Each structure stands twice: as C-alpha cells, then as structure tokens.
C-alpha cells in the first residue's frame, strides 16, 4: 500500500518496501521558547531556519505546528506554511488541534498535504475526516478513542480500525491514512513499549496501512533519552513503522541503519552516502 | 522454556521473559595477536584479564576459545577454563571446533557448561551431541547443515529443527539447545539481516527454543560497525534472541535498553543502575 504526499513539484511515497520517510518534527513551539516568541510576533525567520536545518539532515516531509500561548493559529499556521513553501518544495504535514487552522492552512498549501491528526474520538472524526475528503489530503490517525489511549494492543488496533472504517465510509482510501500506534513512557509502565510494538505489528498485518510514530515519549523520565529513542525507533521500524515523526538531527542515523538492516538500501548506498557526508563535516585531524 | 547453565555455585537462566543473558565473546584469539601469543606460551594472564573486564561490563556467561596457530587446543582449552574458574564463578561457554578439546575442557569444568557449537552437518551432529548427552551440558546449535548456511529463512529453520530433533532423539531436552540463526554481512546481500530476523521469529514460534546470536558479522565491510551491530542486536532481541554472544564493553547498553523496551526491566531498575555506574566512571566536570 502506498501513501502519497505531494508538494507543488515533489512527491513522497510511503510504502513498506521503500526507504523510511523522515517527517521532521522541529517546527513546533512546544518547549522552544524563542520559536514561540517569534510566532507570537509573526516573525517566520526561525520557522525557515528550522526547515533548512531539518532538510540538511535528511527530512523529506516537514511537520508544521504553531500551537503556543498567544498565537492565533488560524492566521499563523497558513503564514508558517507559506514561509516554508517559499524555501523548499518538500511536502508538508499540517499539524494543529484546531480544525479552522487546518482548513486555513490547507487553503494556502499547494499539493496533497498530510494532516496531523485525527483519532477515534467521535468529535475528531466528525471534524477532521470531511476536511481530509474535501482537500484530497492524507491524514495521521492516532490509535485512541473517546475512552483515551487504550492500554492494550487490542484496544489500539480497534481504534485504528475504527478510523480506517470511518474514513473509507466517506470515500477516503485507506492508503491515505498513516496510523500512529502511540508510545507512552516505559518509566511508568514497563510494558508500554511492548504494547506499542505489538499494536504496530498487528496494524500492519490486520489493516495493511502505513504507519507513523512519535517515538520520543517512550523515554520520558529516563536519562540518556536519545539512546532509548533510537533503539525503540529501530524496533518500531522493524515492526512496520515507515514514516516516523522525529528530530532528524538525532534520528537520521538509526533510520538509515534500520533501512540497511531491513533490505531497503541496496549496496548500502544511502548509508555510505550519509557516512561520507558526516565524515566531510568533521574537521580533519 | 528455560535453558539453564551452571558453574559450581552459580546458575544462569535463559528464558523469554527474563533479562537478556550476555555471553562475553572476548576470550578468543581471532584478531588478538597478543592473546594468541600468550596462549602459545600457555600464559593465562591475558585470559584472566579479559574475564575480569567482561565481568565488570555485565557479562554473566563467558565464552572461552583458544583456537590459534601453534596452540594445542586439547591441552590449552582446559588450562584456560581452569584459569577463568579460578577468578570467577560465572558459568562458561566452551568454544572449539575440536571435539577432543571440548571433551578435555568438559572434564575439568565444574557445573553444566554451554558447548559452542554443533550444527546440522551430519559429522558435527555425530561428534558433538553424544558429548552434550554424556556431560549433561547445554549446546549452541548453528542453523546450517551439510549444504552450508541456507540463504532462506525456510532453510535455517529446517536446519535448526534438524538439530533439535537429533538432540531429542538422543534424550537431550530442547531446553538445552540455544539456536544461532546466523548473521551474514548486509554489505554483500541487502536481505541478509531480514533473513536472520525472520529465522529468529520463526524459530521462536515453531521450535520454542531459546536463542543466541553472534551479531557482529552483519556489519562486515561497512563503516561505523558498532552502530549497525547495536541496531541489529536490538531488532534481534525484539525478535527472540535472549543470550547473544557479544563484546560486553560495546553491547551492554543496547542490551539493557532492549530489555527495558521489551518489558523485562521493571521500574527501569537495571537501566538506571547501569546509567549511574557509567556516570560514576566519568570524572566530574
């Protein structure tokens, strides 16, 4: 199954046999005070810088989120989308909890966007799926419903299946849905990662859809988080995730290695290119 | 299923729900010129040092291999085993291609040893399985046969099944067999890791036995090998490997993280202890 996302001139294909697509997560003011301040002032210079640095580190889709106190998302999300489109033609992932902001961003976006996100809550399904249909977009579906994030893999697969069914009933093909099986911290529940991995395997087997994953929650509360996130990402990709939302600066290497190990990098070309690039960045001894 | 290995006083249990057992690989002269030279002189000081450093890095079983040019393994393997038993009570993995050397080492070893290794070749089965039976040992079974290392997962699972059947026919319980699904370099064959991972999942599902893995071949010929080996180990452990043969100095962290992610480290206790230990080793700024 192929999920296709497009800009005006570029097409990104998410599919099980293709290299993993890196969705860059960094245009998001959560925890970034300076970005939040610049968004309040409607200054897009930081947004552009974050776009450039993520592209340099291998992102092929960029998530754009402007949600912060004092930011009118309905006005600022389209501005940010416009700013990113001015400097790059990679497809974008429009990220907001505000349906009106998503609509406004979809109106200025050129191409087939990825909408972030719908979930199995009745209210969300009713708000987001018609928008996906109207704009011919793709959408991220979080494996949760009105009862919250299910504790079991059974519950998450059921929530994912509900999203797929409701989308198909509206005429949205399941190829246009990327399911996120959701990661919770292993610090508070030692079975948290297992549940996510089992959900990923089952969504791949039972629903056949492509999958994203916001992996970094897994290590919340623990030291040396990057090392845990990388290992979880490798396991998640091996289980079926093929378009994770990550910080490309820290996650690109493990994604390239995962593709290498999963038979998606013939002659290790992508890995070797990356390795040489990194070497060229290091000053000679 | 539980695989039990014993020294005079210690017992190590390999089982799917228990933390991954680290078999230290470093007492092996391949590629270690100074160790090879000292073994020729029957000087056991380096063997003891390698035992100590691996124990300090979390090994709970030590592999002992003395195979090098100019070394009489039948005499030197028991000497090395004796030397290691003098400084530690962890169970040992007796590693030789020479059946007489294994017999000599089994005669001095106190406990239930792990023999490294048998495979599906008729000659090997006939030489090693009676030894396993006679000494009540456990044994590593390499998933290959008289035709070599099978290219397909089907072939590796069949080779593993053959070893299990032959062992059971002699009265050796399958719990005493650790299968190694074998890793070949992804540099020359981009499907190499996939084949190993699929074999691991199928051996777990179809034979139910515990599994070891010598993971480092996977990265042969590629740069930054440790990073590739770590990711492959994480995927291998997620697929069912529970007693890998590794260099504990470089692989302990990824093994602890894998256990943390696979629900075998409640309250992240083992991971946190490791993290504090590493921090204590780092001089304060």
What pLDDT score does A279 carry?
82
Q: Is residue A237's pLDDT more than 80?
A: yes
Q: What is the pLDDT of residue B282?
A: 72
Percent over 70 (pLDDT), chain A: 99
pLDDT at residue B215, rounded to an integer: 85
Averaged pLDDT for residues A177-190: 95
- A282 has pLDDT over 80: no
Q: How far apart are CA A113 and CA A135, in angstroms?
A: 8
> Residue A140 pLDDT more than 90?
yes
Encode burial over B149-169: b for 16+ CB neighbours within 10 A, e otherwise: bbeebebbbebbbbbbebbee
**B173 with B136: CB under 8 angstroms?**
no
Indicate yes or no: CB of B193 within 8 angstroms of CB of A218: no
Q: What is the ipTM of this complex?
A: 0.90
Q: Are B264 and B233 in contact (CB under 8 A)?
A: no
| The pair of three-digit structure tokens given for residue B272, joined into one six-digit string | 């946190």
Chain B residues touching A267 at Cβ < 8 A: 190
pLDDT of residue A47: 98
The structure tokens listed for B55 are 């124990």
- Distances in Å between the Cα of A242 and the Cα atoms of A63, A67, A156, A235, B227 are 16, 26, 18, 12, 20
B107: buried, middle or exposed (CB in 10 Å: 19+, 13-18, 0-12)?
exposed
With 0-12 / 13-18 / 19 or more C-beta atoms within 10 angstroms meaning exposed / middle / buried, residue B21 is buried
Of B222, B234, B260, the CB nearest to A268: B222
Residues 6+ apart with CB under 8 A from A280: none
Q: Which of A265, A228, A280 is nearest to B222 (CA)?
A: A265
- Please, which contacts does B154-160 make with residues 24 or more away whose CB atoms are closer than 8 Å? B156/B181, B156/B182, B156/B195, B156/B196, B156/B199, B156/B203, B157/B199, B157/B202, B157/B203, B157/B206, B157/B207, B159/B119, B159/B120, B160/B120, B160/B199, B160/B203, B160/B207, B160/B209
User: Do the Cβ atoms of A235 and B232 come within 8 Å?
Assistant: no
Using an 8 Å Cβ cutoff, are B99 and B78 in contact?
no
Give the confidence band of A277 by pLDDT, cuts at 50, 70, 90: confident
Q: Name the band, by pLDDT with cuts 50, 70 and 90, for residue A283.
A: low
Question: Where do runs of H (alpha helix) occur along chain A?
Answer: 33-40, 45-56, 73-87, 99-108, 122-135, 153-169, 192-206, 225-239, 248-261, 269-281
Where chain B has pLDDT below 70, the residues are 283-285
pLDDT tens-digit map of B130-188: 999 999 999 999 999 999 999 999 999 999 999 999 999 999 999 999 999 999 999 88
| Predicted local distance difference test score (pLDDT) of residue A206 | 98
* Pairwise CA distance, residues B246 & B236, whole Å: 13
Per-residue pLDDT at A284 exceeds 70: no
Which of A222, A235, A262 comes nearest B234 by C-beta? A235
- Sequence-distant (6+) residues with CB within 8 A of B93 are B5, B23, B61, B62, B63, B64, B113, B114, B115, B116, B140, B245
Q: Which residues pair with A141 in a beta bridge?
A: A118, A179
pTM of the model: 0.93
What's the mean pLDDT when you consider all of chain B? 96
User: Could you tell me if A167 and A176 are in contact, meaning their C-beta atoms sit under 8 angstroms apart?
Assistant: yes
- Which residues, other chains included, contact A103 with Cβ-Cβ below 8 Å and sequence gap of 6+? A131
Residues B190, A265: C-beta atoms closer than 8 Å: yes
User: What pLDDT is stored for residue B127 in this prediction?
Assistant: 98
pLDDT greater than 70 at residue A194? yes
Tens digit of pLDDT for each residue in A108-119?
A: 999 999 999 999
Question: Is the pLDDT confidence value at A157 over 60?
Answer: yes
pLDDT given for residue B143 in this prediction: 98
Residue with tokens 């005499």: B75
**Angle ∠(B106,B126,B207) on CA atoms, nearest 5:** 90
pLDDT at position B146: 97
- Name the closest residue on chain A to residue B275, using Cα atoms: A223
Alpha carbon of A269: minimum distance to chain B alpha carbons (Å): 10
Q: How many CB pairs under 8 A join A and B?
A: 96
Kindly list the residues of chain A whose beta carbon comes within 8 Å of any beta carbon in chain B: 186-187, 190-191, 193-194, 197, 218, 222-224, 227-228, 230-232, 234-235, 238-239, 253-254, 257-258, 260-268, 271-272, 275
Residue B283: the pLDDT is 65
């Amino acid at each position: 199954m192929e999920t296709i996302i497009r800009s005006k001139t570029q097409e990104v294909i998410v599919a099980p046999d293709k290299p993993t697509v890196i969705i860059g997560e960094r245009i998001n003011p959560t925890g970034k005070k300076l970005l939040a301040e610049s968004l309040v002032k409607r200054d897009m210079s930081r947004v552009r810088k974050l776009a450039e640095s993520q592209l340099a580190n291998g992102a092929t889709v960029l998530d754009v989120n402007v949600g912060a106190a004092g930011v009118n998302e309905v006005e600022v999300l389209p501005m940010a989308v416009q700013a990113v489109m001015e400097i790059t033609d990679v497809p974008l992932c429009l990220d907001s909890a505000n349906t009106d902001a998503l609509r406004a961003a979809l109106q200025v976006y050129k191409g087939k966007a990825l909408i972030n996100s719908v979930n199995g809550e009745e209210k969300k399904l009713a708000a987001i799926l018609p928008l996906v249909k109207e704009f011919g977009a793709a959408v991220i579906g979080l494996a949760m419903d009105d009862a919250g994030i299910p504790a079991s893999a059974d519950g998450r697969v059921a929530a994912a299946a509900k999203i797929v069914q409701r989308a198909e009933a509206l005429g949205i093909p399941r190829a246009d849905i990327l399911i996120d099986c959701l990661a919770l911290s292993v610090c508070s529940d030692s079975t948290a990662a297992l549940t996510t991995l089992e959900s990923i395997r089952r969504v791949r087997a039972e629903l056949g859809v492509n999958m994203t994953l916001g992996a970094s929650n897994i290590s919340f509360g623990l030291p040396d988080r990057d090392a845990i996130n990388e290992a979880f990402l490798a396991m998640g990709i091996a289980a079926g995730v093929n378009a994770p939302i990550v910080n490309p600066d820290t996650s690109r290497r493990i994604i390239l290695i995962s593709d290498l190990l999963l038979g998606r990098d013939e002659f290790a070309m992508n890995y070797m290119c990356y390795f040489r690039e990194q070497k060229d960045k290091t000053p000679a001894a």
